[in-house]
Amino acid sequence: MSVLVLIVGLDGRMAVANLPCVDIWAGSSLGILKAITVSDGKFTNYLPTGMAVKDTTRCMEILDMCWEYNSEEKIFIGLKNGYVQCFDASAGQFTGQFDATGGSGQLIGIEKHKDALITCTDKGTLTLWPKEAEKVEIHQDKPLTCMRANSECHLQVATGGKENDLKLWDGNKPEKPTFQAKNVRNDWLDLRVPVWVTQVCFVPETGDQPTVAVGTGYHQVRLYDTRKQRRPLYTQEFGETPITALDVTPDSRYIIIGNGAGVMGKLDLRVGKVLNTYKGATGSIRCVKCHHTLPVVAACGLDRFVRIYNLEDKKLLNKIYTKLHSNCLLFSSRDFLSKHSSSPQVQQSNDDSEEEDLWSTMPTLDEPPKKRQRKQMK
């Protein structure tokens, strides 16, 4: 069944069209929500009704997104200015927004868990917005850079930041954290190791005492088992720049990592060893996302491409030039690798195709014959 929606083009014009089959949703640096179809490499732009692309600003940058709990009807979008927008994916339109910061701080994370929306700001404020109750605020003295909710435990949230190590919070008992990580031992010079948590992710199927993967600003990946100890089970270095993106595969076997230099790799969760890297990215990676059922992983960042890889053999299935920086991704449950879907092909950017057309139209000039050089007599 097709649905008529209002589509905003890059020129700011609005038109009515059928809602396409969407495989990936991408949040861009100008607040434009992009609906991507992997099979043909095309995308559609969405903006609030009455807003043109020329009206967008950097303060509307989309920093994080999440689905409605156990549903793909709505997308909650966290903006840089602290507002949360609600997008109806089934109808293809924005339905409302509200201020989630209370007037201070920049929104860094948003999660939806059952009937509660969870937001977090870089000033250290974690807020729970129950549907039929007053909001609950958890204040931390130190700034935060990341926040994630555990889908397997009601209102369990992980946070971390610079000199603010990993903490787990229970929204039902917000007085103090239920788990607080302990810093690793001093280095070989007996100096304290600095703390900078940049990414955090729960390992699936680990329950209410979860295993948590953490990325740091000092190019390290750490794995915590909250049932056993407060210190990490292991620390593995990756590249030479901060870890900027992190996700765990649904089978809990691998950690997918992206850093500020555009390097993307797969780490064996059990032994902490980097197995391989995924080629192609040329700018800082802002998000990596594993599909819930398909063996694929998507990545986006500052090079304006959304790339889709095969998780096992590292093959690049497709790359889509989105014309804007993307900060976050969401997979739909649609099986775009099935027999009924067309085989995805790697798409070239418009700039590359235009350049090839230009060279093909230029005439070929015959080279003049070379003159035979005479040997000079001594």
Adjacent-strand bridge partners of 73:
none
Give me the pLDDT at residue 343, please. 45
Give me the pLDDT at residue 1, please. 34
- Averaged pLDDT, groups of 10, the chain, 378 residues long: 42 47 92 91 87 83 90 90 90 87 79 88 89 84 92 90 94 90 92 94 89 95 94 93 95 94 93 90 93 93 94 91 93 77 47 56 61 60
Residue for token digits 């093909």? 360
Give me the pLDDT at residue 377, please. 59
Residues in the chain: 378
Give me the pLDDT at residue 355, please. 55
What pTM value is reported for the model?
0.82
- What DSSP letter does each residue of 37-99 carry, written as one string? ETTTTEEEEE--TT--GGG--GGG-EEEEEEPTT-SSEEEEEETTSEEEEEETTTTEEEEEEE
Give me the pLDDT at residue 322, please. 92
Note whether 15 and 5 are within 8 A (CB): no
Note whether 214 and 238 are within 8 A (CB): no
Give me the pLDDT at residue 334, please. 86
The enclosing H or E element of 244 equals strand 243-248
Residue for token digits 């039929």? 132
Backbone angles phi, psi at 260, to 5 degrees: -75, -10
